[in-house]
Structure 1
């Protein structure tokens, strides 16, 4: 530690100690007790211990994963809070080596270093820190701080020139910044005005010739700064022009006025974009993109560059924006230092993006970087942590291409050639050991790298033996069944090998190919027509016929097996339908029997009461036979025992009911001009009117047919028939439209009897690299809120919240981005993010394939038995509500009866009477009625 830093820290500590003593004395004078002071000291020591423990935890976490960005930020904040200057400096240094620091972190760091640096010898360290800061991002505030700090050293030799040099670099870097560039220009002019005051002679004294020259040169500098600033479109440029008019003794030159007017015109063009940026919420990507499109169309390279820099300052984690910027610099400006520094900044901000590393390698080669630099950048790329196995294949290919271009193949052997072969061998080992272990796949199933190596050996090195070894290795990795791989190998043999090896390869291809054996057979026969003898032709014909006959037999057996399986499946389906119909018929019979018994019991009860109160008196006839007079009514609920005045409804024959159903049945729908709507609420008021209002925007409606129950209530689905089939496509766009709190389903009208495989909702079951899957969302999260969260990571194409059929959210969502890199960035940055108190999980969308066991109606082995054992023979009820009266529940809860009371001490009533053996007695219908009424 420097002596000045130690002295300043000691002074700060002594000052703090003095302040604490004065505060304690003041507290004592005000009458505060010692106990309260001790309590504050205890709290302070406890906070210090907690902060120190948290600091140690963060440092330990960074020792495990040094690329935890948020952990670095938290550690820096905590160390700054504790005033740990040297540990804070070390933490900032480590973070800056791995990541570019934000403007806020850089300014805090610079201000801290400036405060502890008094001696002139230590100013160079601060200058070095400023140089690192201005390379991360183009920030006007950092440049302004840099220039102001340099003014403090203008008294040293060459200090004035150093300040001017820094100001010149500042106006070059950020002078075109329309909203913040003006502050840098004004600071530069203020500095030159301060210099002017030092060279002006005192009043009353005639300046010497040398002093006059200095004064004239200084005035010209200020004039030049005014002219340069007025040529740049900046906010409040009118105030600068007015200031120049007032400052200039001879007025404003016409050339300056013309430049000023052009700048004002340019400012007016840019003003709408600047105003849009002012009102937009960060990160303002869409607004910046519109601004960039405008500037690119205008064609001013300096303005395009500053607009890119402003965009990336707020969107530094958007790989596509870095790719656009570096591409523009590569193709338009082509300035080596600017191009390479921008590529370096791009990969530091988005190290997970393979495309940026690949472009960086090409730029290094394009601008003649030395071989060691290119190799070092490639090694960093391998350690960047790509998210796909294929990314490693592509970065290896880019590096191998670079090494191949360095080789002089006119020489039989060279250092570059050996390095190329060594890199090929290392790449294969890397794919096998590192990539496969991490991703579970090679990333290069077609062995592209080995194919390129084989071609280089055959074409440039004339080493067909090595090429054949490589192709043998390719075929052993599961590629022997593909015709295109064999044909690629055969083309290599025909180009650089000999007919003998080519013939052998084609014979092996005929035996091994399983995807296009006919095509390979035709290639072999064509080859023998051109190259072979009669004997070769006969052998080729025999082999191809044998192979194709065997394949045809296998295909026939496979087709027969498939037909048998389909037939068995149809038989099983028919058996299931028959069993289901039998069970349904049996349930109807059982239900009818139970209903008959219930009616009989009701008739008996009613008969007893009616006979006692209002039945006609019995009259004795001959032989003491009792003849009863009953009212005869039509067959009804009570049969012949109907009460007086009761008249049953006339019976409806089965034929009449069927005829009524046939009359009510809607006409067959026109599938080409109709849509099926479902998942509507049963309680929807005036559904036809609401649906007509909703679908009229799609085209003229011919008819709306809603399906109702036997009671006339709406069942939540129906059909909408349009006059033209063109309207159907517009109607399908209303799918999932919310209607009174429920998502309405809209699907094409397809007769499933004719199209049994038709599925309305078909979602992709393969990996969607441009789409992410989010789980753990709070149920209150809306589509707009989720889109607002995700748009900071790229361009959003679609957001879909997963809901139940009722419309209630599941806490899941799919977000589709414009490309794969944006989706990858969102996964890295959003996984584990806190959303309204929930930690969400984010991954690339990769829906699992739906197995047969998971399909509706299927069950896993043992599941049916488990449900029967737990919930009874009919399984678990849908509502889980008990249909027994509460009195019976009370009775079932009685575990023991002793001396007429329950175990709980409650007397036994009639409704819960039990026999002496402990079993409940049989209850009559009257008992049940009393229990229901008494509860």
Structure 2
């Protein structure tokens, strides 16, 4: 092989030299023939060559640093092919093919170059070997067709015809089911057999001999068989193949073949929509292929499932999930060794950064009995693949260590496999310390999972507790001594395989070092002494636990005080910011009011005659749509300043609306939104419905009819007629209400529907549908970091292993999407503590979850006396109309009232004067506090006279 390789390299070098000499001769001939070659053109050509050579060297250096740079490989091959560097081109292609599967275009270019270089007979075997590599990367009908056509050129050699047929048969097995491109391979195979038929037919007019007739019949049968096989599978344009068979066959198409053809035609029609969607879709067509695969998986034909996966992977070779689905299907369904292992190999070559694919590959190799050296080589390639996360290296090491552990026969005290396992554990720790931590600047195994497994193997299988203790000492020195679950894990190991002395030592150290759950560790120590210890041991344990807990409580109190001080400081800063913001806002309002006053002075006195001197009262306002002259129209209403206004006065300007009218309109709308109070016990309130819900009354009626007879379903709409997302449902009987409340959180058009009792909060102000606890709940745990796909049942199944689960509540957004949080309630505090210790850090569906005792933060802090919050609570809420506060609402006062009325702190009769609701003072500020006593027009007259 070395001699052959050297000969090939020599041949390539000779060909490169010949090509260079030919270029020089062409250049000389051109000069002799008078072709103009300027010095500038030669210099440009030389410059281009130098630039290309420099770029080639740069790409080669980059690949020497990172061999997995796919684009760099592609660019290097293009440049070398452009420059005609045949020897370096072949070497570059070989290096790339060792790391990555090559695309159809790269393979075809390589094959065509090699075919031109190896036209002599002795070198055909090298091209055959190259074709064999090419057909293993992807399912490519064009490569198979090129392979078969190339083999036809060598059919003159011994066994050449059989080799051609063997290649065609393999091509049909690989791509014959390809609905759009498989037909070309079938037709090429039939053309070859038709050509062979012409060689065995006797000349016209001569009767064939018996041997010739047998050869002729055999060849005809081959062609018949090809037609029958092709017509039995669904392919595009198979009608043309059937017509061709009818024309070719002298005896017509047999009934069995016709029946198979019709069935295949129906299958083709069922899949035609998928094929057409693939034709019109833009690459990579992932969604279209996924729908196609779902259909084939449902049909259950392994051959068609395989070809569909292969077609999808040819266009989505860099999608790890696609490879995972394919290899998982092969592992669980087909279980064919060559097919499974080759697919796993292609998967990791396409997506080397995906740890899960390497892990599955190692398991598949072990499952199919691969040699130990092969598995070790694959593992070494995985370490050099360049994973994205530090934890990926921990997982791949764990997979390899599990394989090595399964090889060991622990019945023997010492063996080669056991030594290899220990060496691998040591190497993994060194690898995680040097390579992984230096690369990611973090520990990929903070909990020292690998060391824990090693310690357990030493204790369980090797009965070597001394080594296990050394490992646990190393674990604790890596920052894990402050966690109770780590100490309890070590204690359980000593309890199972050690002795009481070391158990006691471990628990005493745990009491001194644990920071997260010291109470639980102290309880475990006391329980241990109750079972194992003497009175002296008990006294020591009690003294140590009390001292430790007292110190912990002091630290917690100091920490709580510190946090309270920080919260107080933050609150003071926030208060200062609010005051500064309020002052700035008031300043802007004052400037705006002054500008409005100046503008108002320049306008005509439109409202000089606003007041009726005879009645000394404000004019009357319209009341809805009542007709003038009616009793309803003549009825007076509250004026702007709390007085009743008679009829007969001019209305205000168009668009003018008082604050009282705005409050009345808002109250009217709120009253319309309320249910009938006498039917509250028979009603439920529905909320969180989609605003775009069509026909909400009909849908709610359909949904709640199962709970009992309905009396009324009343959705609430806005003034514009749009649905506001909530409604009231009233039943005939109160017994239907509990059934309706069970429909709470049921999804309606993708949103969870909230169902709550219908209670009048005016008569029941303290009523709360549900209030979450805001204090520590020691019997309940809080779980975070859950995968969004985790269901309540799955979490409950995990928690059952640690105690009796009373309730599981997944926390979601109002839209129903999960937050990845949950509360799990246990029967008692001990079970909850045990669940925290065992579940914290657990990996659930590739997510590492965090578990702690439930201690929700306080949601609402009581406002301190004198703070702005208390002042805000005392201010009445100002209600405006449906359009908000109109500009004309502030201009109904006589201009004289806009003048300064004296200092703000001036008191009359011992009572400080307050601004009036809906008015503007001299500074432009709006008064928000209403007068406790309405002012009459005479009061206003005195104000005007005393100005």
Partner of 1:266: 267
User: Alignment partner of 1:444: what SS?
Assistant: coil
Shift of 1:54: 3.5
TM-score by length of 2: 0.63
The 3 A distance-change label for structure 1 pair 261 and 35 is closer
Contact 1:698/1:731, CA 8 A, preserved across alignment:
no
Return the alpha-carbon distance in structure 2 between the equivalents of residues 205 and 732 of structure 1.
81
User: Alignment partner of 2:276: what SS?
Assistant: helix
Shift of 1:524: 1.9
Partner of 1:196: 197
Return the alpha-carbon distance in structure 2 between the equivalents of residues 197 and 521 of structure 1.
95
Partner of 2:335: 334
Partner of 1:225: 226
Return the alpha-carbon distance in structure 2 between the equivalents of residues 288 and 133 of structure 1.
23
Partner of 1:235: 236
Partner of 1:173: 174
Shift of 1:382: 0.4
Return the alpha-carbon distance in structure 2 between the equivalents of residues 105 and 237 of structure 1.
31
Partner of 2:81: 80
Partner of 1:616: none
Partner of 1:419: 420
The 3 A distance-change label for structure 1 pair 288 and 589 is closer
User: Alignment partner of 1:398: what SS?
Assistant: helix
The 3 A distance-change label for structure 1 pair 583 and 455 is same
Return the alpha-carbon distance in structure 2 between the equivalents of residues 320 and 132 of structure 1.
25
Which range moves more in the overlay, 211-220 or 365-374?
211-220
Partner of 2:457: 456
The 3 A distance-change label for structure 1 pair 657 and 326 is farther
Q: Looking at both structures, which has the greater relative contact order when contacts are Cα pairs under 8 Å and sequence separation is at least 6?
A: 2
Partner of 2:126: 125
Return the alpha-carbon distance in structure 2 between the equivalents of residues 219 and 667 of structure 1.
94
User: Alignment partner of 1:201: what SS?
Assistant: coil
Shift of 1:701: 7.5
Partner of 1:158: 159
Shift of 1:237: 2.0
TM-score by length of 1: 0.64
Shift of 1:252: 2.9
Which range moves more in the overlay, 195-204 or 435-444?
195-204
Shift of 1:146: 0.3
Contact 2:16/2:85, CA 8 A, preserved across alignment:
no
Which range moves more in the overlay, 514-523 or 484-493?
514-523
Return the alpha-carbon distance in structure 1 between the equivalents of residues 749 and 145 of structure 2.
59
Contact 2:16/2:86, CA 8 A, preserved across alignment:
no
The 3 A distance-change label for structure 1 pair 6 and 390 is closer
Residues 1:352 and 2:353 are matched in the alignment = yes
Q: Deviations over 1:67-96 (max 9, x none)?
A: 221222222223333333333223222221
The 3 A distance-change label for structure 1 pair 329 and 696 is closer
Q: Deviations over 1:675-728 (max 9, x none)?
A: xxxxxxxxxxxxxxxxx997988898757599xxxxxxxxxxx99685569999
Return the alpha-carbon distance in structure 1 between the equivalents of residues 642 and 575 of structure 2.
26
Return the alpha-carbon distance in structure 2 between the equivalents of residues 226 and 720 of structure 1.
67
Q: Deviations over 1:415-453 (max 9, x none)?
A: 111110111111111111111111121111111111110
Partner of 1:135: 136
Return the alpha-carbon distance in structure 1 between the equivalents of residues 570 and 113 of structure 2.
78
User: Alignment partner of 2:112: what SS?
Assistant: helix
Return the alpha-carbon distance in structure 2 between the equivalents of residues 218 and 589 of structure 1.
106
User: Alignment partner of 2:313: what SS?
Assistant: helix
Q: CA RMSD in A?
A: 4.4
Return the alpha-carbon distance in structure 1 between the equivalents of residues 785 and 56 of structure 2.
41
Partner of 2:59: 58
Return the alpha-carbon distance in structure 1 between the equivalents of residues 691 and 549 of structure 2.
63
Q: Deviations over 1:146-172 (max 9, x none)?
A: 010011011111111111111111111
The 3 A distance-change label for structure 1 pair 91 and 501 is same
Partner of 2:541: 540
Partner of 1:69: 70
Partner of 1:531: 532
Shift of 1:471: 1.1
The 3 A distance-change label for structure 1 pair 406 and 693 is closer
The 3 A distance-change label for structure 1 pair 8 and 770 is farther
Partner of 1:361: 362
Return the alpha-carbon distance in structure 2 between the equivalents of residues 202 and 595 of structure 1.
115
Partner of 2:861: none
Return the alpha-carbon distance in structure 2 between the equivalents of residues 732 and 323 of structure 1.
30
The 3 A distance-change label for structure 1 pair 60 and 22 is same
Return the alpha-carbon distance in structure 1 between the equivalents of residues 237 and 692 of structure 2.
52
Shift of 1:9: 6.9
Return the alpha-carbon distance in structure 1 between the equivalents of residues 455 and 442 of structure 2.
23
Contact 1:529/1:537, CA 8 A, preserved across alignment:
yes
Shift of 1:459: 0.3
Shift of 1:220: 2.2
Shift of 1:205: 2.6
Return the alpha-carbon distance in structure 1 between the equivalents of residues 746 and 405 of structure 2.
58
Return the alpha-carbon distance in structure 2 between the equivalents of residues 186 and 368 of structure 1.
40
Contact 1:55/1:78, CA 8 A, preserved across alignment:
yes
Q: Deviations over 1:477-535 (max 9, x none)?
A: 11122121111111111111111111221222222222222222222222222222233
User: Alignment partner of 1:294: what SS?
Assistant: helix
Partner of 2:474: 473
Q: Deviations over 1:198-219 (max 9, x none)?
A: 1222123333333233222222
The 3 A distance-change label for structure 1 pair 37 and 523 is same
The 3 A distance-change label for structure 1 pair 697 and 71 is farther
The 3 A distance-change label for structure 1 pair 520 and 129 is same
Residues 1:251 and 2:252 are matched in the alignment = yes
Contact 1:5/1:117, CA 8 A, preserved across alignment:
no
Return the alpha-carbon distance in structure 1 between the equivalents of residues 46 and 29 of structure 2.
20
Return the alpha-carbon distance in structure 2 between the equivalents of residues 58 and 313 of structure 1.
27
Return the alpha-carbon distance in structure 2 between the equivalents of residues 7 and 584 of structure 1.
88
Return the alpha-carbon distance in structure 1 between the equivalents of residues 236 and 607 of structure 2.
94
Return the alpha-carbon distance in structure 2 between the equivalents of residues 191 and 418 of structure 1.
60
Partner of 2:385: 384
Partner of 2:897: none
Partner of 2:303: 302
Return the alpha-carbon distance in structure 2 between the equivalents of residues 281 and 61 of structure 1.
33
Return the alpha-carbon distance in structure 2 between the equivalents of residues 13 and 299 of structure 1.
59
Residue pairs, 1:567-578, within 5 angstroms: 567-574=568-575, 577=578
Return the alpha-carbon distance in structure 2 between the equivalents of residues 193 and 472 of structure 1.
79
Shift of 1:541: 2.4
Which range moves more in the overlay, 507-516 or 694-703?
694-703
Consecutive unaligned residues of structure 2, counting only runs of 5 or more, are: 1-6, 612-616, 619-638, 644-657, 675-689, 698-713, 730-743, 753-770, 775-783, 790-816, 818-843, 847-947
Return the alpha-carbon distance in structure 2 between the equivalents of residues 697 and 41 of structure 1.
81
The 3 A distance-change label for structure 1 pair 229 and 646 is closer
The 3 A distance-change label for structure 1 pair 473 and 54 is closer
Return the alpha-carbon distance in structure 2 between the equivalents of residues 162 and 186 of structure 1.
18
Shift of 1:271: 1.7
Which range moves more in the overlay, 346-355 or 568-577?
568-577
Contact 1:4/1:118, CA 8 A, preserved across alignment:
no
The 3 A distance-change label for structure 1 pair 198 and 498 is same
Shift of 1:236: 2.1
Partner of 1:115: 116
Contact 2:172/2:186, CA 8 A, preserved across alignment:
yes
Shift of 1:582: 6.3
Contact 2:716/2:723, CA 8 A, preserved across alignment:
no
Partner of 1:622: none
Residue pairs, 1:389-788, within 5 angstroms: 389-574=390-575, 577=578, 661=659, 664=662, 667=666, 702=716, 723=727
Partner of 2:863: none
Consecutive unaligned residues of structure 1, counting only runs of 5 or more, are: 29-33, 603-635, 675-691, 707-717, 735-753, 758-765, 772-797, 799-818, 822-935
Return the alpha-carbon distance in structure 1 between the equivalents of residues 587 and 274 of structure 2.
76
Return the alpha-carbon distance in structure 2 between the equivalents of residues 658 and 399 of structure 1.
87
Partner of 1:875: none
Contact 1:231/1:260, CA 8 A, preserved across alignment:
yes
